[in-house]
Structure 1
Amino acid sequence: MWLIGITGVLFLLYAVLILFYTRSWNQIPMQVTAGMPVNEAFTFSIIIPARNEAINILPLLDSIKQQQYPSHLFEVIVVDDHSDDNTASLVERFAAENEAGPSIRLIRLAGKGLNSYKKKAIETGIASAQHSWIVCTDADCLAPGGWLQSIAHIVKETDPVFIAAPVAFIEEPTLVNLFQDLDFLTLQGITGASVYRNIHTMCNGANLAYRRDVFAEVDGFSGIDTIASGDDMLLMHKIWKRYPQRIAYLKSKQAIIKTAAAPTWGAFINQRIRWASKATSYDDKRIFAVLFLVYLFNSSFLILFIAGFVNSCYFLALFVFWTLKTIIELPFIKNVATFFGKQSRLKYFFLFQPLHIGYTILAGFLGSFGRYEWKGRRVK
């Protein structure tokens, strides 16, 4: 029965963590920018790394064109990462057809044989940027009309040097999309709570902003440029070490970037392995402790399941902890889902718990020891 006791201790630690996240998320001030006057003191360079994004790039550029922020106060720089399709020509045509809007430029990434093409693409775009703030998003995203206005507002109100902002998956009527949506809501809530309380550094590269001079001050991606991913969180931590009190989370519905979820289970697992692969590179020991606790707690379910074939009482313990895990997480994810307008998806939350536990164990293991595919490349 010692196994049940250890799982119980892990659950108590996990419950304290989730309750902390719940309270912290609810304490983040909600920003509403609709109807507010535009502050023209802040200018933005939007950097978009793109590789084989012919299907997605025009909808993104069109959404950026519809920004409520004055077009002369921001520019768009698309960095084409050796695309094999017509991504580059589509960007050039869109720029030529929309000369009256914001400046849109295409840069072709030079050099091959890198392990971190995305960081190189962002770095190349920043080197060409004209404005004081860098705003990053991905080529498969859609930006709401109040996106830049919301960023400008939080810059004015809190004077940050780095801003983490909300991201949501585009909803599709598939099981894999539903599962990812619920899982991602949890990650987004933890991101907001942890940044607001300054307990560890989390963000998503699909929606973040930082001052260009601060990027240069911390020497950009130097020191993390050999790691394939981490253009978001690893950079964020470098900046946090220099400015620990000037990292902000933008809790605004007008700033939610929508992005496509992985289309298949295989692509989803591959994506999570890529995200997990950054864990061994984190300099932020605070987040490593959290990840370790979460991994141990989820692993205890697998151990209980295996032990159940020896003694059926472990199956009962497994179900009890499964239920308790759901109960402690539900208020948290309900509050986050309300912010993102996804309450209707919560009815599947309990049923997806075993799948969530399984993928957490698998992705965490393979992220540490495996390789993965990213944009058609095999990287580590």
Structure 2
Amino acid sequence: MFLIIISITLIYLLLIVCFIYGFEKLKPFKLINLPAKTNFSVIIPFRNEVENLPDLLASINSLEYPKHLFEIIFVDDSSEDDSSKLILKFLADSQIDIKVIQNERQTHSPKKDAITTAIKQAKHGWIITTDADCTLPKYWLDSFDEFIQQTEATCVAAPVTYQLTNNFLNRFQVLDILSLQGATMGGFGLQKPFLCNGANFAYKKETFNTVNGFEGNSNISSGDDIFLLEKMVKHNSKQVQFLKSEQAIVTTSSQDSWQQLINQRLRWASKTKSYNNWFGKVTGLIVLLMNALIIVSILLTIFGIVLPKTLFYIVFIKFNIDVLLIYKTATFYEQREVLRSFLFGFIIYPFFSCYVAFLSMFKTFKWKGRSFKQ
């Protein structure tokens, strides 16, 4: 038993150290005011987002990029509120090329269908996807443009975080996404990309068509980002890169309740068994085993099977290496104040993650008013 505990702890420690190394190795990208050249089609699927759209539309209106070089395609996925009316009202007063189209459902994944529908109508060679509950920084497209001009990338992942508010549920989610973003950038820095976020993801339309888009995983409700990343990496890994730029950070909204958060994580978990990237699978397994080890070690300590000092060493190692990765990520995102909630979040997270992993084996989940099977 002791050997198993030590092995899992050391493997986890090595994994997070590698991510920290990769995070540092991935150098920040700075704008140098190159003349804008790249044409973008920005795709935004939405369903019942009337409350979130005003912030997104305001941020679109504030984009500094030349208006003739990009278009915005909103894809209405059977909204039951006034989302489309709100966008059309904004469109009437805007000089930006914006249109609203209806989703053409073909598969079990509404979002993948929405993106595919929009790509067929996209005028430009570069596709960028984001979400309707996001806000975009004013130099968002400038950052992508200069990065594309200075690299040979055909697929670019970029940073995402949650808006930080003054309640624990929000801060818990911010800590979680910072850890995910740290692992994401760490993976790219190690030249083993395995994570990205569809709220800030760009690729050439030509490459999307070359890898046959979402074909092969359309039966899975989520994964419009990671499955496509896997295909892009397999096609040409050297052209898949991460835009580590503070001016490209997209901000999105956290979930408003624990039940919504659990449903979101069940949705994410629904795609994990279909990953083809071995590094991503191994990473997920190691992280889950480490969280489970914390819970098991607590129980074994209570029953006198494991010495209290063994539990202390396990928790001490995990706490310090986790806080180091999150500190580095929080510094990049300028969200270090969230670290005040790290201790409480650290205590809760093993139970939360193992609970979600257990539920994901058999429970259906709801998302955007629809029910999905695992």
Say yes or no: TM over 0.5. yes
- Identify the residue that residue 29 of structure 1 maps to in structure 2: 27
TM-score, normalized by length of structure 2? 0.96
Q: Classify 1:266/1:187 alpha carbon distance in 2 versus 1 (closer, same or farther; 3 Å).
A: same
1 CA distance for matches of 2:360 and 2:238? 31
- Identify the residue that residue 107 of structure 1 maps to in structure 2: 101
2 CA distance for matches of 1:60 and 1:74? 16
- Identify the residue that residue 301 of structure 2 maps to in structure 1: 308
Q: Classify 1:205/1:30 alpha carbon distance in 2 versus 1 (closer, same or farther; 3 Å).
A: same
- Identify the residue that residue 113 of structure 2 maps to in structure 1: 120
Give the counterpart letter for 1:306 in structure 2: L
Matching residue within 324, 333, 347 for 2:340: 347
Matched-pair contact (CA < 8 Å) for 2:22–2:188: no
Q: Classify 1:61/1:38 alpha carbon distance in 2 versus 1 (closer, same or farther; 3 Å).
A: farther
- Identify the residue that residue 78 of structure 1 maps to in structure 2: 74
Give the counterpart letter for 1:252 in structure 2: S
- Identify the residue that residue 238 of structure 1 maps to in structure 2: 231
Displacement of 1:312 in angstroms is 6.9
Q: Alignment partner of 2:100: what SS?
A: strand
- Identify the residue that residue 276 of structure 1 maps to in structure 2: 269
TM-score, normalized by length of structure 1? 0.95
Displacement of 1:83 in angstroms is 0.3
Render the CA deviation track for 1:235-280: whole Å, top value 9, x for unaligned.
1101111111111101000000000001111111111121122110
- Identify the residue that residue 40 of structure 2 maps to in structure 1: 44
Matching residue within 291, 311, 328 for 1:298: 291
Matching residue within 159, 167, 178 for 1:166: 159
Matched-pair contact (CA < 8 Å) for 1:38–1:69: no
Matched-pair contact (CA < 8 Å) for 2:105–2:113: no
Matched-pair contact (CA < 8 Å) for 1:58–1:94: no
Give the counterpart letter for 2:128 in structure 1: V
Matched-pair contact (CA < 8 Å) for 1:28–1:193: yes
Displacement of 1:53 in angstroms is 0.4
Give the counterpart letter for 1:137 in structure 2: T
Matching residue within 148, 166, 170 for 1:177: 170
Percentage of matched positions with identical amino acids: 35
Matching residue within 358, 371, 375 for 2:364: 371
Q: Runs of 5+ in structure 1 lacking a partner?
A: none
**Comparing 23-32 with 132-141, which one deviates more in the overlay?**
23-32
2 CA distance for matches of 1:260 and 1:305? 34
1 CA distance for matches of 2:307 and 2:114? 51
Matched-pair contact (CA < 8 Å) for 2:160–2:199: yes
Taking the TM superposition and a 5 Å limit, the aligned residue runs for 1:321-332 are 321-332=314-325
Give the counterpart letter for 1:29 in structure 2: K
2 CA distance for matches of 1:149 and 1:107? 26
Matched-pair contact (CA < 8 Å) for 1:7–1:297: no
Matched-pair contact (CA < 8 Å) for 2:297–2:306: no
2 CA distance for matches of 1:314 and 1:279? 35
Displacement of 1:316 in angstroms is 4.4
Matching residue within 19, 40, 50 for 2:17: 19
Displacement of 1:315 in angstroms is 4.7
2 CA distance for matches of 1:335 and 1:310? 37
Give the counterpart letter for 2:212 in structure 1: D
Give the counterpart letter for 1:23 in structure 2: Y
Q: Alignment partner of 2:344: what SS?
A: coil
The answer to whether structure 1 residue 362 and structure 2 residue 316 are counterparts is no
Matching residue within 58, 70, 92 for 2:88: 92
- Identify the residue that residue 68 of structure 1 maps to in structure 2: 64
Displacement of 1:68 in angstroms is 1.3
1 CA distance for matches of 2:254 and 2:344? 20
RMSD of aligned Cα (Å): 1.5
Q: Classify 1:111/1:200 alpha carbon distance in 2 versus 1 (closer, same or farther; 3 Å).
A: closer
Give the counterpart letter for 1:195 in structure 2: F
